[in-house]
Amino acid sequence: MNRILKRLNSPRKALFFIGAFILICALFFTLGSLIYGKIHPTKYINSAGNVLEVRVPYIVNGEIDETVVEIPRGTKVQIEEVEEDQSSFRYEGTLITLDNSYLKDSVEECLVIDNVYPRRLVNLREKKDGTLSEEIVKKGEEVRVVQIDPDDLDTQTGEIAWYKVEKDGKEYWLNGKYVETSEDLATKTWVENITYSTYWDEYYGEGYSKDAFLTQIDYKPTKNHNYENNPMPENCNAVHVSLEYLIKYKDYYLNLSKETGINAYVVELKGDSGYVWYQSEVLNDYLKDPEEALQDSLCSLDELQDLIEEFQDAGYYMIGRIVTFKDVLFASQNTEESITDTSGQLIMHNNEYWPSAYSRKAWMYNVDIAKEIASTGINEIQFDYVRFPDGLVSKSDQLDLKNTYNESKTAALQGFLQYASDELEPYEVYVAADVFAWPLAAQDDQDIGQFFLAMANCVDVICPMPYSDHFSAGALGIYDPSSDPGEVLARYTELAEKELSEIDDPPVYRSWIQGYGDLTPQQIEDQIKAIDETGYSGYMVWYGFGAPDSLDTNKEGYIE
């Protein structure tokens, strides 16, 4: 090049030569790209499901074997060889040969889906991420797809976030997490070994238990969240404390980790009867008199955020507890969404009015509070009292539970937890659910809707409450459970481990342990060791509001 330039006797000639050289190179590059593109075109994976499973044969020790490669829908691939009926390309280093019907020219062509079928009853929405409408689609129902936005395709997983669908002449949005592209997939059991008792068939009729705990439930495995910006401690050792005490005795709680194995707090932010302990703005949308629920609030949302951040900076994992369907205030201000008699009058049950866990308004109310709390950067949301009141069976003919969609209690609670998990996912906050101890031991829902595996299949953390004084003599094979909390935890945790092995992707198991009563530090320690010896880690101590003088009575037992 330098020799050629020397022969040119002017800068203008030199510039002309350089420009021409660049233009020729560009033309060659373009021509080469066009030729390469025709010989090796770009295609996109077309699959009926989220992923296309391809069986690839290979030879090992002279024998033919095969491996299964999963390629997400919409994946972009570069074709190496094109034949009339099939084409070959490399995916993650493996040479794949596919029928050409699985290869499309654009992402849009991979999203031509005529119908979808829900795996469970789902409320449609009039807007993406909008409120739940009253219109539903049932399990296995054929739903016509109107449109799929390419932006709603996750090419890392092949999942479609939203489908625009038509129902009764009107267009809605349907969450893609709970649908399949065939009726067979939508109605399959997904898990083969769900064990359940048929005890409640005696009260509600033959086949009730199977329908309630199996048929209506979605057992397709769900991937638990693992938020990079919100790591969950492997050993999450917590005590429950009221927001009032956390503020009043802040220094005590900030220093508790120096004396014990405690590294987390479960803070009550919405309590029994429906009182909200910080100045929430959500209540304005759901309560006729929001000030009734805020009359004893303790801080603003900004002040709550500052408090949470202070504890996180000190090394604590912070969990916000929300008492969900035990809410006198919501019930009394939303009678039409609550448990009443057949004439519409609120029923006082166990000295409380109860919103119905079937109520979508009650769902949205609690989840919107959870989202507001999540905006503070809290690590985890824990829903407590995710249940119907106990003892309703004797009054079933006299009650109106507002079961608009003819769901089982178990299906309603799973639907709520799935909805909560979906809505909270953008906040990168983990979702936990407390569950009464007896449903797991009895292998049914105790008629409160809490079937253990149905709840466990849709949360990040499952939190049973096997307090020794909740078990009668002889329960779990223990002569006097109330006198031996360590043995109660040992046998209960073994039972939980066996149950959770029945689902493919179980959540984190973090048990409550009993701290109240006359328990000694050794009895606290025995409960923690019983959990650890079963292979689980972490615990939460229930001692009412967690006042310092209460915790001090046995805090030596709060070991790592």
pLDDT digits (tens, 9 = 90+) for 80-126: 998 889 999 999 989 999 999 999 999 999 999 999 999 999 999 99
pLDDT at 173: 98
Is residue 89 exposed (0-12), middle (13-18) or buried (19+ Cβ within 10 Å)? buried
Comparing 113-187 with 235-557, is the CATH topology the same? no
pLDDT at 457: 96
The domain limits of the chain are 2-39, 42-109, 113-187, 235-557
**113-187 CATH, one of 2.60.40.10, 3.40.50.970, 2.30.30.40, 2.40.170.20:** 2.30.30.40
Confidence of residue 274 (pLDDT cuts 50, 70, 90): very high
In angstroms, how far is CA 244 from the centroid of its own chain? 29
**Chain-wide mean pLDDT for the chain?**
92
Which range (11-15, 182-186, 217-221, 556-560) has the least confidence? 11-15
Q: Which residues contact 293 (CB under 8 A, 6 or more apart)?
A: 274, 275, 276, 283, 287, 329, 330
Confidence of residue 391 (pLDDT cuts 50, 70, 90): confident
pLDDT digits (tens, 9 = 90+) for 116-167: 999 999 999 999 989 999 999 999 999 999 999 999 999 999 999 999 999 9
Confidence of residue 36 (pLDDT cuts 50, 70, 90): very low
Q: Is the pLDDT of residue 422 over 80?
A: yes
Cα separation, 62 vs 79, in Å, equals 29
**Nearest residue to 244 (alpha-carbon basis) of 276, 280, 287, 281:** 276
**Collapsed DSSP state (helix, strand, coil) of residue 327:** coil
Q: Which amino acid is at 368?
A: D
Q: Which two tokens stand for residue 324?
A: 């969900």
**Collapsed DSSP state (helix, strand, coil) of residue 183:** helix
**% of the chain surpassing 90 pLDDT:** 82
* CATH code for the part of the protein at 235-557: 3.20.20.80
pLDDT at 5: 47
Q: Which residues contact 290 (CB under 8 A, 6 or more apart)?
A: 280, 283, 284
- Which uninterrupted H or E stretch holds 33? helix 11-39
Q: How large is the average pLDDT for residues 306-321?
A: 98
Q: Which amino acid is at 141?
A: E
Q: How large is the average pLDDT for residues 456-460?
A: 96
Which CATH architecture is the domain 42-109 placed in?
Roll (2.30)
pLDDT at 21: 60
Contact 145, 164 (CB under 8 A): yes
- Which uninterrupted H or E stretch holds 514? strand 511-514
Q: How large is the average pLDDT for residues 490-504?
A: 94
Cα separation, 474 vs 505, in Å, equals 33
Cα separation, 134 vs 125, in Å, equals 9
Task: Specify the pairing of strand 511-514 against strand 539-542.
Answer: parallel
Q: Which amino acid is at 533?
A: E
pLDDT digits (tens, 9 = 90+) for 61-83: 777 888 899 999 999 999 999 88
pLDDT at 396: 78
Q: How large is the average pLDDT for residues 210-229?
A: 94
To the nearest 10°, report the CA torsion of 139, 216, 398, 322.
-100
Q: Is the pLDDT of residue 521 over 80?
A: yes
Cα separation, 177 vs 118, in Å, equals 9
Confidence of residue 29 (pLDDT cuts 50, 70, 90): low
Q: How large is the average pLDDT for residues 39-50?
A: 88
Contact 421, 458 (CB under 8 A): yes
Q: How large is the average pLDDT for residues 411-417?
A: 98
**% of the chain surpassing 70 pLDDT:** 93
Q: Which residues contact 340 (CB under 8 A, 6 or more apart)?
A: 346, 347, 399, 400, 402
Is residue 133 exposed (0-12), middle (13-18) or buried (19+ Cβ within 10 Å)? middle
**Straight-line distance from the first to the last Cα atom of the chain, in angstroms, rounded to the nearest whole number:** 73
Confidence of residue 33 (pLDDT cuts 50, 70, 90): very low
Q: How large is the average pLDDT for residues 286-315?
A: 98
Cα separation, 461 vs 227, in Å, equals 14
pLDDT at 350: 79
pLDDT at 11: 58
pLDDT at 270: 98
Task: Specify the pairing of strand 317-323 against strand 264-270.
Answer: parallel
Q: Which two tokens stand for residue 538?
A: 């972490």
Confidence of residue 35 (pLDDT cuts 50, 70, 90): very low
Spell out a b/e string for 516-554, using b for 16 or more CB atoms within 10 Å of the CB, else e. eeebeeebbbbbbebbbebebbbbbbbbeebbeebbebb
- Which uninterrupted H or E stretch holds 28? helix 11-39
Cα separation, 115 vs 164, in Å, equals 11
Confidence of residue 348 (pLDDT cuts 50, 70, 90): confident
Cα separation, 54 vs 50, in Å, equals 13
**Nearest residue to 91 (alpha-carbon basis) of 67, 113, 108:** 67
